[in-house]
Amino acid sequence: APMPKTPQFYNSSQAPTVSGSPWAPPTLNFEREVQRGTIEASLCSLIPKHGIVALTHSQECPFSSISDLFKTLTTDPTLGERANQAYTNNLVYKDAYGNGKTGVDDKRVIDLSPQRLDTIVSVDSNLLREFGTPMTEALSFFDQVRTELAPHIQRALAQLTGSSELYKDVHCNYRMVEYRQRPAHPPDDQGPRCAAHRDFGSFTLVFPDSVGGLEVLLDNEWRPLSVPSNAAILLFGWCTAITSNDRIPAMLHRVADSPVVDGCVPQRTSAVFFVAPDPTTILKPTVLEGEQAAYKEFSAGELKDLVGRKWRYREGSLSAKDTALEQQEAEQFPDQDAIIAHKYRNWLR
């Protein structure tokens, strides 16, 4: 019998390589703009140009603390197991490649949120304390992003999309990622660091370390991002693209191997802050004069189920049943864009 087709953007045989020259996205000094009272107006000016902004002088990411968290998980794997047992809706700690799966993203991930943390504390009250100071410092950083940085972006997006409801009742997720050091020429069954995708939600803030590797697809060419040290990279997801009627793009992005050092691709650490609407929110394009609606109306929860299955496929945490469904779907729809266009694009324009 023929082998099932693997979705195009999640195929390990298409391991990312750096292509094209570095590209510097629009940059905004967050601290200065806040002091001037012009942060939201400045965001509204820059966001529609490319759907990406580098924010300098915002929150400084505690990379050393995040690295220490992963070292702790290496020393005591039971901590990751306990986190996954305490919160059972989705995995908190993920290391599919390290646990023997092939063709998946080659990374270790800690996924938390205010709701997940509440559940973990109620089930295993000592767990967070056992992670020690690194966990405290990492969570303090994400809380500052949530309370001091994110609200300005939410208000700017409400102005740009004309949809304030989308940015009121929001859900936040805190992601910490370690990309291991790996050979300059990895084995064939080793997947990409993070395969090409568009995010689901309203917006994403990526805090990369100095190693590099984050790329965006610009004019059909992969471009490594060149941003100032300690900058946060602001990207947008499907929910904002749909609500803005594609005036704000959800950029296709990936993490590729950075330049080789001493025969190896160096280890890379990043923190990612996701914001998404409540699943019950209805996504509806805001149509300006002269435009036609590019999408139908549907719930954010419906879209999340679809996109979530695809990111779990990439990360190797999908059930066997859903893996079979994903592979079957790939026979007709080779990538994320194709299935979303089929289900949600308004072809009656």
> How confident is the model at residue 348, as a pLDDT?
53
Q: Which residue has the tokens 């809380």?
A: 143
pLDDT of residue 102: 84
pTM: 0.94
As given in the structure block, the two tokens for residue 332 are: 């007709």
Q: What are 199's two structure tokens? A: 């995010």
Q: Which of 231, 285, 255, 6 is nearest to 109 (CA)?
A: 255
Looking at residue 306, its amino acid is: L
d(CA 23, CA 253): 13
Q: Give the pLDDT means over successive 10-residue stretches in the chain (349 positions).
A: 46 49 96 97 93 96 98 97 96 94 92 97 96 97 97 94 80 97 83 91 96 91 93 97 95 92 94 96 94 95 94 89 87 89 81
Could you tell me the two tokens for 276?
């998404």
Contacts of 328 (CB under 8 A, 6+ apart): 4
Residue 295 near residue 346, CB atoms below 8 Å: yes
Cβ pair 214, 25 in contact under 8 A: no
Q: What per-residue confidence (pLDDT) applies to 112?
A: 98
Give the per-residue pLDDT at 1: 42
Six-digit token string for 9: 């953007």
In whole angstroms, how far apart are CA 273 and each of 7, 31, 111, 282?
26, 19, 10, 22
Reading phi first (left if > 0) and then psi (alpha if -120 to 50, else beta), residue 150 is in: alpha
